[in-house]
Each structure stands twice: as C-alpha cells, then as structure tokens.
Amino acid sequence: MSKDNKKSDPGQLLFSFNESITADFKGGQVSSDGGLLLLREFDKKISFIKKLSTRIQDPRNPLFIVHEQEEILRQRIFQIILGYEDADDSDLLRHDPLFQLTVKNEKDKFRLFDVKELASQPTISRLENRIYEDEMGCLGNYLLDNYINSREKAPKSIVLDLDSTDDPTHGNQQLSLYHGYYEETMYHPLLIYENESKLCLGAYLRPGNVHTADNVLKYLSPIVKRLKTVFSEAEITIRADAGFSSPEMYEFCEEENLRYAIGIASNNVLMKCTKKYLSKARKQFKKSGKAMCVYHSFKYKAESWNKQRKVVVKIEITEHGEDIRFVVANMKGRSKPIYEFYGERGNCENQIKETKNGFKADRLSCHRFYANYFRLLLHACAYNFISLFKASLKERNPELADAQVDTLRLKLFKVGAWIKETTRRIWVHISSSWPFRGLFEQAYLSIRALPAFSSA
C-alpha cells in the first residue's frame, strides 16, 4: 500500500508534503475573533448598544421572545465590525463560542453547554423589516447623541462636513433608481460628520435619482439647532463641496449665524473676475518655470443671490496645466488659510470611504426602503462605536487611535482564542505566539480605566 493511500482515523487529515503532520477537528471551542472581548468590555463601559435598543420599539410578545432585541443589535453590530457585514453571516456565527459569550446580556449567567444559538438570518431580517419611517428620526438622533455625550467638555469649535455618496444596488430595492451623473442604479445617501471627533452625526438614505443637496436643510437644520442648544458658546462651521452650493444654503448659514466654506462650480463670470489674477500667475510661471499656487478673493453676486458674498479662488499652474477652484465663504482672514481650511474637507471623504468600504455600509440589499435605511444606520452606528473605541486608546495606543477598522481587525480583533470551561470559570486562551499581544493588553488597560459614560 502506498503512503498516499495509508488509512487514517475518521476526521484525521494527512498531508503528503510532510508525513509527520496530522490534522483533526478536535481542538475544542475555538474562535478566530478573540478581540470580541475588547468590544464587549467597551460596550459595557459606554452602554452603546443598550441605549440604541431603547430607541426601537419591540412589539413582540415577551412570552415568545428567544433573542432579546439588544442581543440581536449587539450581534449585528459586532459582526459588521469584525467584517461579517451580511445578515447571512449570522447563520455561521450563531454557533461561535466567543460570539455567544459576548453577545448575551450580562444578566444571563450561563455555562457554555447551556447557551442557545444566537439569532439566525431570518431573525435579524425580521428586525430590519419591522422598522418604519416614524422610528427613523429617533434612530437618526442617536448618532448625534454619540457626539454630544462623548464630549468631556463643551467644544469651542464644531466643523460639520457634508457629503453624499453613490450606493450601487443590484436587486429590486424600493426607490433604487438610475442616477445620470454616476451612470448606475443606486441609492444616494447623505452623510454628515464632525471634523475633530470624526463621528457621524447623520446618515440619511435617499432615492437614487436625487440631487446631491436634496433635502439637505431638512436634515441639517435639526442638527444645528440641537448643537446650538447644547453647546451655546461653540462656533459652528459648515463645510461642503460644490454640490451643496445654493442660495438657500448660504442664507440658512447666515440666518443661523454659522460660518461656512462651500465650493462653487466655475462659470464665465467667476473666470472674468479671476482674469487679472490668472494673467499675473501665468507671467510668473513663464518667468520662473516652477509650479506655483496663488490665492485671492473678491466679492461676487450671482443673479439668484440676495447679496454679494466673498469668493476665494485658488490658481495652481504646473507643467501639466492650470487648475482653478472657487469657494464661497463668510470667514474672516486671508485667502490661503480659508481655502486650506476648505481643503481639509478631504477628511470627510476618507470617513465616507471607511464607512462605505471598511464597514460595508453599501450592503443595502433588503427590498423595503426603510429596512435599507435602518441598515445604513446600523453601519453608521458600527462606525461610531469604533470611532469612540479608538478615542479611548489615544493615551496607551496612539498608533491605533487613528487606525482604520481594517488595521484594528488585523492587530486587535482577529486572533485565535480557545474557550475552555472549568467548574468555576470560563477561560479564553488567546494565542501565545500572537505578535500583537502588547497592543491588546494596552487596549484592555485603556478600556478598564475608562469612567462609565453615556453614549445616548
């Protein structure tokens, strides 16, 4: 009999590249997501998911409830954070011992052999599909509450970055429509972030064919009103690209005593106002032959505006050509700092990319529009949870304080853990050869040192 055909015990795997290696499936209760321990400990400190659950009505008969609503939400958000973004993933993870230990509520004192499976995909989908329009406002306010209640002291300055993104759809979703600019069938979410904290203050799902600024004041106005009430001394600034440029936006900011820096598309009149600056810049470039960038400002009034406003222009000339950009602003100071402040809105685009790509907020595959709206909010909540988590690591883990979620998964969350139960304890043995043990221990100490604070 050849060595390749050697008989082995059922469940054993032999490998021809090294005959001394034998694999089996007798390793016991093992999970690949040891970092769930940190997530659950942090959630315990800030009561993030418990408070989120209070925003959602639970019409189920208590006599027949197997999975509490808070546990379903914790399971769903933890799965999103760990990279299991689809509801279908719960059918595999509901048996994972570490998910079971960290998702269940603290009052449930159980042993591993007693624990029931976590929620399955149908259970999670039923939760997503029983959310209706009248609950969206309360759920949306929770994102803003994350910011307000996480501030240790009142901020002196609040910068709100507005942007939209395309969310391609591939099924028969309600209000999934074709957008001519993006040339695809999609949803068109509006997202609002706060610059310093990087928290998402608002996530609004909109039909796919609407303009970038559709209903923006409807969503922005309540946020501004709340922030002005809670932080009455703070200076609030609105920052957005040219898609949000409109007389209504400028007038709103001026009526609410807000600063703003909003891009504006080029036109013949603006180019005429810039002619003398451009001519001078061209002469300087021709003389020096070196790339150059100059900034100027002037007063401008479009036909639809009720008054003149300040326009800042950036003129950049290189060997590759000319780039001329305009920003409407009511901010005092020199042109260059104003434009550079506007340019920092690129941070918002990075936050959208992480929300969309890192947390897979584009997985809106339910049929009902409001079920998908709820999904968007769940992904935004997962993003905020990790933003607050990273803020707690600044002192001991500065290298992770600004890390993206993919890095956190690699260095904190994705680690093998063997769960062993004894008479008195449940032991979670983490890999002894893990290279990021030090980071994990420091993160643990950071979380344990946190004072309990409310996130809602």
pLDDT digit string, tens, across residues 425-451: 889 999 888 999 999 999 999 999 988
**Which pLDDT does position 405 carry in this prediction?**
96
* Residue carrying structure tokens 């690209």: 241
Contact present, 119 and 175 (Cβ < 8 Å): no
SS3 417: strand
Between helix 437-448 and helix 36-46 the angle, nearest 10°, is: 10
Nearest Cα to Cα of residue 385 among 33, 32, 44: 44
Average pLDDT, integer, range 344-367 = 92
Average pLDDT, integer, range 303-327 = 94
Structure tokens at 362: 């584009």
**Which pLDDT does position 2 carry in this prediction?**
46
Residues in the chain: 456
Alpha-carbon distance of 342 to 327, in angstroms, equals 8
Burial 128-153 (b: 16+ CB within 10 A, else e): bebbeeebbeebbbbbbbbbbebbee
Q: Please tell me which residue, 451 or 3, carries the higher pLDDT value.
A: 451
SS3 344: coil
Question: Residue 176 pLDDT more than 90?
Answer: yes
Window from 9-23, 96-110, 137-151, 435-449 with minimum mean pLDDT: 96-110
SS3 14: strand
Window from 27-31, 197-201, 204-208 with minimum mean pLDDT: 27-31
Structure tokens at 449: 């040192």
Question: Residue 411 pLDDT more than 60?
Answer: yes
DSSP letter at 213 equals: T
Question: Residue 135 pLDDT more than 90?
Answer: no
Average pLDDT, integer, range 137-164 = 94
**Which pLDDT does position 11 carry in this prediction?**
77
pLDDT digit string, tens, across residues 204-226: 999 999 999 999 999 999 999 99
Structure tokens at 26: 């007798």
DSSP letter at 451 equals: P
Window from 305-309, 311-315, 399-403 with minimum mean pLDDT: 399-403
Average pLDDT, integer, range 196-211 = 96
Structure tokens at 247: 């007389």
For the domain made up of 133-261+345-387, the CATH class stated in words is alpha beta
Nearest Cα to Cα of residue 314 among 332, 297, 295: 295
Average pLDDT, integer, range 196-209 = 96
Structure tokens at 40: 């659950």
Window from 100-109, 229-238, 360-369, 403-412 with minimum mean pLDDT: 100-109
Average pLDDT, integer, range 121-129 = 95
SS3 85: coil
Band the pLDDT of 106: cuts 50, 70, 90: low
Q: Please tell me which residue, 74 or 12, carries the higher pLDDT value.
A: 74
Q: Taking the CA atoms of 138, 204, 167 and 358 in sequence, report the sign of the dihedral they define.
A: negative
Band the pLDDT of 1: cuts 50, 70, 90: very low
Average pLDDT, integer, range 77-103 = 94
Average pLDDT, integer, range 138-167 = 95
Average pLDDT, integer, range 356-379 = 94
**Which pLDDT does position 26 carry in this prediction?**
83
SS3 53: helix
- Range(s) within the chain of domains with CATH label 3.30.420.10: 133-261+345-387
Question: Residue 327 pLDDT more than 90?
Answer: yes
Long-range contacts of 94-97 (CB under 8 A, 24+ apart): 94/118, 94/119, 94/120, 96/31, 96/33, 97/29, 97/30, 97/31, 97/419
Per the prediction, the chain carries an average pLDDT of 92
**Which pLDDT does position 109 carry in this prediction?**
54
Structure tokens at 367: 């049929």
pLDDT digit string, tens, across residues 231-243: 999 999 999 999 9
Burial 350-367 (b: 16+ CB within 10 A, else e): ebbebbbebbbbbbbebe
